[in-house]
Amino acid sequence: MNRFVAMVLTLSVTLSPSAFGDDSKRLRIISWADYVPADVAAQFKKETGISVEVTLSNNEEMISKLRATGGAGFDLAQPSQDRIIGAQREFSIYKPLDLTKVKLDQFVPSLLETTRKNTTVNGQTYGLPYLWGTDGLVVNTKRAQINDFLDLCKPDFKGKTAMRLKRPTMMAFAFALGKDPFALYGDPKAYSALMEQVGATLIACKRNIKFFYDNKDQLLNGFRSGEITAAMMWDSGGWKLNRENPDILYIAPKSGALGWLDTYAIPAKGRNDAGAYAWINFTMRPDVAARITKVIGSFTASKGADALVDPLLQAQFAKSLPDAALKNIKWYPAIPSGLEEMEGRILDRVKAAN
């Protein structure tokens, strides 16, 4: 799954001229690549009569587009759970969800609880869980053994590792240093000091980094060619490589994998709320959710869908994320305003360092 390439093209699924004249017959979704499989959209239209239009985007662009229109232009958005509260408080781009219209019993309870906790403003819920996954470590076990993010900086791995020059890497290294960056969100001074420490650690680690990767193919091909031995990476990418080469494994770091969770949110000026709720309930059906996992490689928040996915993927999940690792996942909480700008300055310094 590609979570770091921003895409700005628009994909229309089964559109017809009449769709533009009746808002109840079209559902405009702004989401990530692959999140709306064409066959799933086609089945939804067959069952409901509603055509689906998808604009591919990322977190920053979703906020930017909805901010520019005051929450208009789309009927459903799929931001990460940590990007909802801040945007809502600052720009009021979403409307609270009417949970009486959602089949909440279709959701994995723990994921539902986590998302509601991180997307509730003034007692109103603005997000529900859709897809989730983790960032951890991928390693060619025939060439190396690692168990935490800091191991990527060991002298033995000079020029053989890769990571992103993004905030998830800063969070991962903070936890590996024995700190909890999320617990410091409310203390800007302490948080800044921790990020400075992380920045210095990353600068010292640069001798080991073959490249800071910008896209999925760059990283996957680095493993396939043997150019890199280990990397900070997302789980589904690691499982893909493992199917090609059993020596390559995705592992949860000792300090904890980072947990991301993308959501369903309804823009403030969407014109087809009924269609949005129909889509949420439809895609959380276990049979439909399992088909989505097959396309994307990541698991959904649908209760019961896991049992319907490919047995090999089930086995990979169980090996990579046993119960202890699942309990140790560090879920991203809502990001306070101002932190990302400060983190960006440190990342720029890391990039410029020799």
Q: Are residues 126 and 271 in the same domain?
A: yes
Residue 106 has pLDDT above 80, yes or no: yes
Average pLDDT value for the chain: 93
- pLDDT digits over 314-341, tens only? 999 999 999 999 999 999 999 988 898 9
What is the domain-level CATH number for residue 83?
3.40.190.10
Q: Are residues 98 and 163 in the same domain?
A: no
Burial class (CB in 10 A: 0-12, 13-18, 19+), 142: exposed
pLDDT value of position 17? 37
Distance, CA of 288 to CA of 89 (rounded, Å): 33
Instruction: Check whether residue 216 and residue 340 sit in a common domain.
Output: yes
Per the CB < 8 A criterion, the answer to whether 158 and 210 are in contact is no
Q: What is the pLDDT of residues 157-191, one digit of tens each?
A: 999 999 999 999 999 999 999 999 999 999 999 99
Q: Residue 211: which domain range?
A: 134-258+331-352
Instruction: Mark whether 161 and 279 lie in a shared domain.
Output: no
**244 and 95 share one domain:** no
| Res. 4: pLDDT tops 60 | no
- 179 with 202, same domain: the answer is yes
Question: Structure pTM?
Answer: 0.89
> What does the pLDDT read at residue 5?
39
> Do the domain assignments include residue 271?
yes
For CA atoms 322, 2, 262, 152, the dihedral sign is positive
Task: Tell me if 265 is assigned to some domain.
Answer: yes
Q: How many domains does the chain have?
A: 2
What phi, psi does 261 have (nearest 5°)?
-150, 120
Token representation of residue 46:
């067959």
| pLDDT over 80 (residue 196) | yes
Tokens of 37: 């499989």
Measure CA 176 to chain center.
20
99, amino acid identity? L
| Assigned domain for 311 exists | yes
In the predicted structure, residue 255 carries a pLDDT above the cut 60: yes
- Tell me the H-state helices in the chain: 38-48, 59-69, 85-91, 109-118, 167-176, 188-205, 216-224, 235-244, 273-283, 286-296, 311-320, 323-327, 339-352
In a domain, 75, yes or no: yes
Residue 89 has which token pair? Answer: 């408080």
pLDDT bracket for residue 286 (50, 70, 90): very high
pLDDT tens digit sequence for 75-87? 999 999 999 999 9
> What is the DSSP track for 255-303?
T-PEEEEEEEBEETT-S-HHHHHHHHHHHTSHHHHHHHHHHHSSEESBT
Residue 70 pLDDT exceeds 80: yes
**What is the pLDDT at residue 337?**
82
Binned at pLDDT 50, 70 and 90, residue 22 comes out as confident
Q: Is residue 4 a part of any domain in this protein?
A: no
β-bridge partners, 11? 54
Asked whether residue 90 falls in the same domain as residue 187, the answer is: no
What confidence score (pLDDT) does residue 157 get?
95
Would you say residue 2 lies in a domain? no
Residue 42 confidence (pLDDT)? 98
Clarify whether residues 287 and 181 are in a common domain.
no
CA separation for the pair 88, 67 (Å, rounded): 10
Strands 209-212 and 258-264, bridge-based pairing: unpaired
Structure-token pair, residue 174 = 């903070």
Average pLDDT over residues 95-101: 98
- Check whether residue 125 and residue 269 sit in a common domain: yes
- Considering just the CA atoms, what is the radius of gyration of the chain in Å? 20
pLDDT at 21: 58
Pick the more confident residue, 214 or 261. 261
**pLDDT at residue 11, rounded to an integer:** 41
Residue 1 lies in a domain: no
Note the pLDDT tens digit of each residue in 120-149. 999 999 999 999 999 999 999 999 999 999
